[in-house]
């Protein structure tokens, strides 16, 4: 197994530029690449950079397809705070298509299983980009998620709901459940890029990279993938013992 790559850069612009290099690189190598993308604050500058590069012709993703890695359950595609609204607002990049689970699906469990099946049938993700939650989650695989966890409906933790309170207008508006690709679906991607910035993520980054593989820290399961790159700013890398 190849060792995991750890890249440490200074500042948000450098993080965004490097992430954009990797995403554009995947689409350059394979124009019709399937790419999993996260929401959150971390990738915002990256998505802005991709928009600029696509507009200038420096990056061509027009044949690549995006799959959102998670969504809330029990809302509509127009509910502020949902990932559906997030991607419409922030991912203004001319991909061939951006597929997002439907937060209003009548049978959410069946819906997210079919979503993951569609990715498998299309050949699987060539690149999956991830952020990590303050509690170590990846997509909405909250602590307690096994390495074999499939795509499913999950109950969101208090920490995750609080992190989205502002986007939904109030904590009470944040859905109790999420739809997520499972840890197993994320690990099935051919390559993984994990982004983290800020000192608030430092202890989780250390636990994920240097700690034991455990369901308590779902991002620690990434240690068993053969092609994972951690892209960190100095603060997020601040607690790593090996640099
Ligand atoms: C959200 C998403 C994750 C994301 C994480 C980190 O809850 N479900 O996919 O990676 O939180 O968000 P941020 O980048 O804002 O810290």
Measured CA distances, 172 to 83, 143, 165, 168, 190 (Å): 17, 22, 8, 8, 38
Is the confidence at residue 64, as pLDDT, over 90? yes
12 annotated active-site: no
pLDDT in tens, 75-91: 999 999 999 999 999 99
142 annotated active-site: yes
CA 38 to ligand 1: nearest atom: 9
User: What is the per-residue pLDDT for 39?
Assistant: 97
> Predicted confidence band at 96 (pLDDT cuts at 50, 70, 90)?
very high
Q: Which residue's CA lies nearest to atom 9 of ligand 1?
A: 139
- Reduced to 3 states (helix: H, G, I; strand: E, B; else coil), residue 24 is helix
CA 160 to ligand 1: nearest atom: 7
Residue 37 DSSP class: E
Name the residue of 137, 140, 164, 199 to mutate for ligand 1: max ligand atoms within 8 A of Cβ: 137
Nearest-angstrom CA–CA distance, 172 and 243: 41
Residue 2 DSSP class: P
User: What is the per-residue pLDDT for 11?
Assistant: 94
Whether the Cβ atoms of residue 79 and residue 71 lie closer than 8 Å to each other: no
137 annotated active-site: yes
User: What is the per-residue pLDDT for 2?
Assistant: 60
- Contacts of residue 29, defined as CB under 8 A and 6 or more positions apart, other chains included, come to none
Render the burial of 30-55: b for 16+ CB within 10 Å, e for the rest: beebbbbbbbbebbbbbbbbbbebbe
User: What is the per-residue pLDDT for 143?
Assistant: 96
* 240 exposure class (CB count in 10 Å sphere: 0-12, 13-18, 19+): middle
Residue 214 DSSP class: B
Task: Report how far ligand 1's centroid is from the alpha carbon of 104 (Å).
Answer: 20
Q: Which pTM was predicted?
A: 0.96
CA-wise closest residue to 11 among 229, 237, 234? 234
Nearest-angstrom CA–CA distance, 24 and 119: 20
Measured CA distances, 194 to 36, 128, 132, 153, 243 (Å): 11, 8, 7, 23, 16
Name the residue of 19, 39, 71, 84 to mutate for ligand 1: max ligand atoms within 8 A of Cβ: 39
CA 134 to ligand 1: nearest atom: 16
What average pLDDT does this structure show over 86-114? Answer: 97
Task: Report how far ligand 1's centroid is from the alpha carbon of 201 (Å).
Answer: 11
DSSP per residue, 138-170: BTTB-TT--TT--SEEEEPPHHHHHHTHHHHSS
Q: Who lines ligand 1 at CB under 6 A?
A: 38-42, 69-70, 131-133, 139-140, 160, 163
Is the confidence at residue 1, as pLDDT, over 60? no
Residue with tokens 């998620």: 145
Q: Which residue's CA lies nearest to atom 10 of ligand 1?
A: 131
User: What is the per-residue pLDDT for 166?
Assistant: 96
141 annotated active-site: no
pLDDT in tens, 148-184: 999 999 999 998 899 999 999 999 999 999 999 999 9
CA 201 to ligand 1: nearest atom: 16
pLDDT in tens, 13-53: 999 999 999 999 999 999 999 999 999 999 999 999 999 99
pLDDT in tens, 177-206: 999 999 999 999 999 999 999 999 999 999
Please give the mean pLDDT across all residues of the chain: 96
> Predicted confidence band at 243 (pLDDT cuts at 50, 70, 90)?
low
Nearest-angstrom CA–CA distance, 49 and 193: 16
Nearest-angstrom CA–CA distance, 23 and 59: 9
User: What is the per-residue pLDDT for 235?
Assistant: 97
């Amino acid at each position: 197994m190849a060792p995991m790559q750890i890249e440490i850069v200074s500042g948000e612009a450098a993080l965004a530029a490097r992430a954009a290099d990797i995403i554009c690189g995947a689409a350059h190598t394979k124009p019709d690449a399937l790419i999993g993308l996260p929401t959150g604050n971390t990738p915002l500058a990256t998505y802005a950079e991709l928009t600029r590069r696509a507009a200038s012709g420096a990056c061509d993703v027009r044949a690549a397809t995006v799959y959102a890695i998670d969504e809330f359950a029990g809302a509509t595609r127009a509910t502020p705070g949902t990932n559906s609204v997030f991607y419409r607002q922030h991912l203004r990049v001319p991909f061939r298509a951006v597929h997002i689970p439907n937060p209003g699906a009548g049978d959410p469990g069946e819906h997210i299983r079919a979503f993951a099946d569609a990715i498998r049938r299309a050949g699987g993700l060539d690149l999956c980009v991830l952020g990590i939650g303050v509690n170590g989650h990846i997509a909405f695989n909250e602590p307690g998620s096994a390495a074999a966890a499939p795509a499913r409906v999950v109950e969101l933790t208090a920490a995750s709901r609080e992190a989205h309170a502002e986007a939904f207008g109030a904590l009470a508006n944040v859905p109790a459940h999420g739809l997520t690709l499972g840890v197993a679906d994320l690990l099935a991607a051919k390559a993984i890029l994990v982004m983290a910035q800020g000192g608030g993520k430092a202890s989780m980054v250390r636990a994920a990279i240097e700690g034991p593989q455990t369901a308590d820290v779902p991002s620690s399961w990434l240690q068993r993938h053969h092609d994972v790159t951690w892209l960190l700013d100095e603060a997020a890398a601040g607690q790593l013992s090996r640099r």
